[in-house]
Each structure stands twice: as structure tokens, then as C-alpha cells.
Amino acid sequence: MSTPVLTRPDGQARTYDAYAQPWWKRTLLTREMAIIALVVAVYAWSMGNVANFDSPLTLYYLFLDVAPLLLIALPMTLIIITGEIDLSVASVVGLSSVLVGVLVQDGGLSVPVAALIAIAVGAVCGAFNGFLVAYVGLPSLAVTIGTLALYRGIAVGILGTTAKTDFPEKWTDLSKERIIEGQPYPMILIPFLVLLLGFVLLLHFSPFGRGVYDIGLNDEAAQFAGVDVARTKLWLFLLAGAVSALAGVYFTLRFGSARGDNANGMELQVIAAVLLGGVSIFGGRGALHGVVAGVLLIGVISSAMRLEGQTVNVINIVIGVLLVLSVISTNLLGWVSGQVRSRTRGSRPSTSRAQSGTSSTTEG
């Protein structure tokens, strides 16, 4: 059938500006940019004020430390944008770590084969979450609290309290190798950057990604527009499982230790970083550059405070306060703009009420 061409009475077509604001306003005045600026500011301040922060080792270890967070934050961002959450990621890290240990040491498999199997198992774990959420229709919070315990339980069940520590040096060294000798960038950044590119294309430059935002903002309208809501969610949870398992492989090799309780509690760090990076916990809002900045902010602050001799507890307090502030700031901004809007709108109802008052007195 031919494209229906509509005729306008005046025969002229109106054109629209693509954007209401100039590009720099759209890019710079965002929450993501605020977080990036904060990272740069904290980094610059620490360079000048924290002893040894300017040592090349600082940045190197910072990257090694935050690598698992960086990796898992990628799929977590997409999941949270759809309005769901995955609390089982750290347990998948632990399970994957145990699997690599057992398969390499007891099974005699090579590290790459063991890693692939672990990642496949991670994908299955994620798909199980996704199935329960998307097709059975259970709330993801409840499902992944359950599988958080389930996957961690399996991991600890396999190895008990023991650890597998005998890994080929070739692989443990590779996990800590630098991309270019003398530079503070470890090898793990390469798979991270590849995945980052993939997730950026998926979220920001693909129909699938648009669907992810639609689901988070209005899943009913998304369904009416032909977005396969259930399948999208299934894929996201599957990806989260696979990437978490990859992080588990890295975690194991970096510390040369496969334990069931590896990365205990990391899920909350990941979610904190994602939220800090400007992703709305209610879904529909957020971008990956903000999330990367959010992870790095946590990394820089931890690293600077550790050099200052602060304990983990103090670091956690600071990051916790920062997270609460960031959440409050969004709500505060929303409240302020809501106030402004209701004030401009408020004039009409009040006059109509006044009218009704006068008319009822005259008639009554």
C-alpha cells in the first residue's frame, strides 16, 4: 500500500527544531556531568593534598580494585533503568570464583575453558532470575534476594570454608598486567572497554535500548508499541549473570584465591555506584557515562581516604552519605521544579474557586 500522504489545508509543511536548547546546555547541565565534574574535582584535590596519591601505583590499584564494580555496573544500569534490580550479582561472582577454582584445580581444565564454563553458568543463573521476573511476573527485589542466598549457598556449599589458591602463574599475572609497561592501566580495562562500548551501543544507540527506557518509564505503553517487555528483561538479567561471572573470574585470578564468600556484599556497592551515577531507582532515567563516573568516584574517594589512613568503615560512611545526598538532590530538584510548576498553574483553580464562592452566595 502506498504511504498515506496527508494534505494540509494550506499546503505547507511545518518544520521543527530538533532540540529546544543549545547542545552545550543539553550535554553539560546534566546529572551525569555533575558526577564527572565531582570525580575530576576530588581527583585533582587528592593529587595536591593526599600524600602519595600522585604515585603511579595509586591509579593502577584503583583500577584493579574497581574493575569488578565497573564490569557489573554495566548490565546493572540497564536493569535499574527498566525499573528492576538484581541483588544476586555478587553471589554469582562468588559462584563463578568457586567454579573456576574447582574446575582448574580439581578438574584439571585450563583457565580459559574453566572461565567460559563459569560465565555460561553465570548466564544460566541470570536467565533464571530473568525468567522468574519477566515470565512468572515476580518482583525482582524478592526474586534476587532469594537467589542471592541460593547462589551464595551453592558457592559456599561446594568449597566450604576452604579456598583454592593454586592457579597457573601465567593467568594470575595477566590479571594484574599493565597494558603498557610503566602506565597505570591494567589489562582488565581492555575487556571492560570492549563491554562498555557494547553496552553504550546497546543502551544509547539501539532500538533495544530505547525499549529499555520505555519499559522503565511506562511498561504498558512500551507493550502497546510492540516492545517485548518480558524478553527484554530476560536478556538483561542473563547479561548481568554472565558479566558478574566474568568479574568473578577476574576476582579469582587477581587474588589467586577461589572462595565461596568472595565479593560478599558487592551487590550493594554496585547499586550504590549506579545510583550515584545518576540512574533513577524508579527506572527510566540514567546514562552509562554517569555510571562509569559514579564507580570511579567511589574508587577515587576510597583510594584517597585509604592513603590518609582511614578505615573501611569511615570510607563506607562517606560513600553512604554521598549516596543519600545524591538521591536527596534529585528529589529536591524534582520538588523545586514541581513547586515552580504548581505555582504557575495554581492561579487558575484558585480563581475558579473564588468564582464558585461568589456565585453560590449570590444564588443561595
| Residue 218 vs 257, nearer CB to another protein | 218
Residue among 276, 328, 320, 272 at smallest CA distance from 39: 276
Cα–Cα dist 217/10, whole Å? 37
Q: Which CB sits closer to another protein, 51 or 333?
A: 333
3-class DSSP assignment, residue 4 = coil
- Contact mark string toward another protein, 15..54, x via CB under 8 A: xxxxxx-----x----------------------------
> Running DSSP on this structure, what letter comes out for residue 67?
H
Segment contacting another protein (CB under 8 A): 32-40, 74-82, 92-100, 221-229? Answer: 221-229
- Binding-site string for another protein from residue 228 to residue 247, where x marks contact by CB under 8 A and - marks none: x-------------------
* Identified binder of another protein from the candidate list 43, 53, 167, 213, rule CB under 8 A: 213
Of 274, 289, 314, nearest to 37 by C-alpha is 289
Rounded-to-integer distance, Cα 295 and Cα 273, Å? 5
Q: How far is the CB of 341 from another protein (least distance, A)?
A: 10
The answer to whether 38 and 297 are in contact (CB under 8 A) is yes
Q: By CB under 8 A, how many residues form the interface with another protein?
A: 44
Based on the shown chain and the rule CB under 8 A, indicate whether residue 356 belongs to the binding site for another protein: yes
Of 69, 89, 70, give the one whose Cα is nearest residue 79: 89
CA 316, CA 322: separation in Å to the nearest integer? 10
Answer yes or no whether residue 225 interacts with another protein by CB under 8 A: yes
Member of 28, 113, 201, 268 binding another protein (CB under 8 A): 201
Which residue, 122 or 211, is less far from another protein as judged by CB? 211
Nearer to another protein, 329 or 355 (CB): 355
Give every CB contact of residue 215 below 8 A, 6+ residues apart in sequence: 82, 83, 222, 227, 229, 232, 233, 283
Q: Which span sits near another protein by CB under 8 A: 108-116, 146-154, 315-323, 354-362?
A: 354-362
76 CB contacts (<8 Å, ≥6 apart)?
86, 89, 240, 270, 271, 274
Interface contacts to another protein, rule CB under 8 A: 1-8, 13-20, 26, 201, 205-207, 209-210, 213-214, 217-218, 220-226, 228, 284, 352-353, 355-356, 359-360, 363-364
